[in-house]
Structure 1
């Protein structure tokens, strides 16, 4: 690595370390304040669940499985199983708290051709979804980039994406749609409660630091785009009018295989498939749409017979209760407690999404059970002001999480333009067939080096390490990445001092 590369690399690492240290400081202070106590959380069976949802989690909207168009469930679920059977769902190596770890969830990115998504220092390369009537990219032999089964699967995700794009807009106005309410009922958006004064100060300080960090990054890289979602209170002009999800992150996990899932540490919600987090690198205030599909349960034990027996015993208790008068209060209390425990166990058997107000230990958390085929939206600034986790159920589960990712530095078109910018400083003598630099100005050479580093560290290394795993399923990225490697080698020669001087002299 060259001296300037090292300087840029360590400067970026210092920013990342500073941000991580600040998060650790906040986490440590909250844990000290909390002590050994658990923060309360509410589920649908708990009193006050509805009021808590309306007051502190109004940006969450639930859509039952029945709202999807006829046949879409079958196509999407078949597509999810196709990806799993083909081996397209892979665990990613990510960076978490200075450690490289494999995700518990297996993933694949599907979306607009040429789009990528970056999270936890890992870049995913999208398998293109095939819009209706689109043939897709072909290789030099005229062969499509994907086979027909994978193409049909990706098209199903595009159809689901189209539904979400049209359905999420009314849900942004009708916030907090619950199972017991009509799909057209609106609820007023009210601010979250229970935020301590110190947490408010922390959030304001965090916003200030994020703003300063963004301005510093823009000045250093001259790219005009932050690597994290800016904390803005004003939505971009297009988001309020029309939502266009451009990628979906497909997830799969079987909790019976993953034996080392961590317990949720703050509320005691249960085993976590995905820990507490904000979704990264999204367009500010853009919504997130999630489709959840739980696989049929394996008949490991006689759970159904057990439940039937419980039901019969309850019926007998009811009969004796009606026949004989004056069942004692203790028995009624025990029966009520037993029913409540059974309800809690049923909820924990389901996959759930957990939500909490970020950096707040006073507002109760929310745990929302998800039936197979349910969808939910995170709208407004919920993803910015709150954190969410995924709580594992008893069955295996797929999800398709649709997002509006930042495209200013995340697409193939962007990085190809950057390569063209750098190579504009290279000229070829047609007579001598030699190449030389048009300008040796330090600013021009620095600009070329910045692009050279970005191509290498943000694209080529990420692709050759993790992205090309998908080449055996889809060849879409093969030719673009080969060309990018050629451009990188050209820039490497341009930045070689000896080569540059020789070329310049002809």
Structure 2
């Protein structure tokens, strides 16, 4: 395949940055392995270390939630699992295909997405355009909206108390918390109409707002007897269900709230608890903590904790569900629809059906082609690549994805018109721009077409077999441009190399 020539300077600089990161990580690992200090709740220093370095971690007891809500949540977990809605993802890490040991699904506001490990997850909606749930799956999803509402209220209480406690006595904090919940304190409850407030009060309002709104939950399920789990490598904490990480693609400084449901065995007195580990990111001096989380308990990582700390999950002896509520900052369906419409504003159609471009300005072309790539690689391929079962479960998404694909075809036509104009006018600036765009696009297409090896495909269940959409052959003239852009790139480069 034709490959665009390029300078190696950028590549060598990137390699140097990666090398330094690897060295820094290796030094950190060595320091941690020498220290290996962490505390459990029954350790003498646990409370002191939590107060000093983990004050944004809050463990909530089971009795704080009604037994009726506990029952609905546990029914919802089991309903989604039993209907096959929780399954392991296949992701690429360091050019290797990895099957996640945890089974997951995303639930939330209609049209929202969440990305982790370069995989875009698409929500099962938890609300249904004003109508009640029509089946068990929709009912289960709506239960997590109920839990989400509860977490929003609790997170607000925790953040109000945290902010009020910075400089006031405990008695004053309790009274102000009650006033705020009752809506009697305008410092926090009416941002739009309050006047004369200090900058600090306005900042506090913003902090409370971002920490008391969740729009998605990522459901997790694991039966530790079904998967091989590695040991935690730094402290010797036990078997890792989820490795050390901070959650990706969340609004900076927003809370993460987690509901924990663990199943019981025939002999519950012998069950080993699941645990959550926490450590300060890029720090080898502050000890880590390890906290058991029992069935029905919740925990919160408040405010900036997800930005400044890492967490992991240590497996217990029985299956575990969790519902992890977040505020995603990923592009939504409405966002990409608006972007697509803006890109297509450069396509002119006259009364006779003839098409042309409104502008060949390089900035306009760059903008529309970036959206072209985003639609193809961040939406269409991400959605269809996850297989037939994934798309069938997300019926809500089918029509919007088909509409996006129709708009993407129009963007392909716009690219064709741009190529024609660049060749006819021998516009070398435009040709150089197109060569850069096509080099990236072809690389991304190759990546997606080769995301899974033949061996990987054989191990993927048929209902999750990737759908390489959109894909077409050179003989398919219903597409404006070929799938493989090598020939067009050669033609463009030959013009670029012609003398002035």
> Which secondary structure state, in structure 1, belongs to the residue aligned with residue 253 of structure 2?
coil
Select the residue among 80, 93, 102 that pairs with 1:105.
102
1:455 maps onto 2:378 in alignment: no
How far off its partner does 1:380 sit?
A: 2.1
Correspondence list, 1:280-429, <5 A? 280-297=248-265, 299=266, 349-407=272-330, 410-429=331-350
Verify the 8 A CA contact 1:354 1:366 in the aligned structure 2. Answer: yes
1:82 maps onto 2:79 in alignment: yes
Distance 1:284 1:493, change over 3 A: same
Verify the 8 A CA contact 1:427 1:437 in the aligned structure 2. Answer: yes
Verify the 8 A CA contact 2:207 2:303 in the aligned structure 1. Answer: no
User: What is the number of residues matched between the two proteins?
Assistant: 388
> Which secondary structure state, in structure 2, belongs to the residue aligned with residue 361 of structure 1?
coil
Verify the 8 A CA contact 1:112 1:129 in the aligned structure 2. Answer: yes
1:29 — aligned with what?
27
How far off its partner does 1:370 sit?
A: 0.6
CA deviations on 1:398-430 (whole Å, 9 max, x unpaired) are 0000001115xx100000011001111112121
How far off its partner does 1:25 sit?
A: 2.4
Deviates more, 1:448-457 or 1:236-245: 236-245
How far off its partner does 1:18 sit?
A: 7.1
Verify the 8 A CA contact 1:62 1:375 in the aligned structure 2. Answer: yes
How far off its partner does 1:60 sit?
A: 0.1
How far off its partner does 1:184 sit?
A: 9.9
Distance 1:426 1:303, change over 3 A: closer
Provide TM-score, normalisation by structure 1. 0.70
CA deviations on 1:110-149 (whole Å, 9 max, x unpaired) are 0010000011111100111127x8228xxxxxxxxx8511
1:274 maps onto 2:195 in alignment: no
User: How large is the RMSD of aligned CA atoms in angstroms?
Assistant: 3.3
> Which secondary structure state, in structure 2, belongs to the residue aligned with residue 87 of structure 1?
coil
How far off its partner does 1:20 sit?
A: 5.4
Provide TM-score, normalisation by structure 2. 0.71
Select the residue among 357, 363, 372 that pairs with 1:443.
363
CA distance in 1, matches of 2:171, 2:221: 32
1:252 — aligned with what?
221
Select the residue among 113, 133, 136 that pairs with 1:149.
136
Select the residue among 311, 332, 353 that pairs with 1:433.
353
Distance 1:64 1:417, change over 3 A: same
Structure with larger RCO (C-alpha < 8 A, sep 6+): 1
Verify the 8 A CA contact 1:235 1:285 in the aligned structure 2. Answer: no
Verify the 8 A CA contact 2:160 2:208 in the aligned structure 1. Answer: no
Verify the 8 A CA contact 1:250 1:399 in the aligned structure 2. Answer: yes
Which runs of 5 or more structure 1 residues have no equivalent in the other structure? 137-145, 177-182, 188-233, 308-345
Correspondence list, 1:215-226, <5 A? none
1:172 maps onto 2:170 in alignment: no
CA distance in 1, matches of 2:94, 2:329: 24
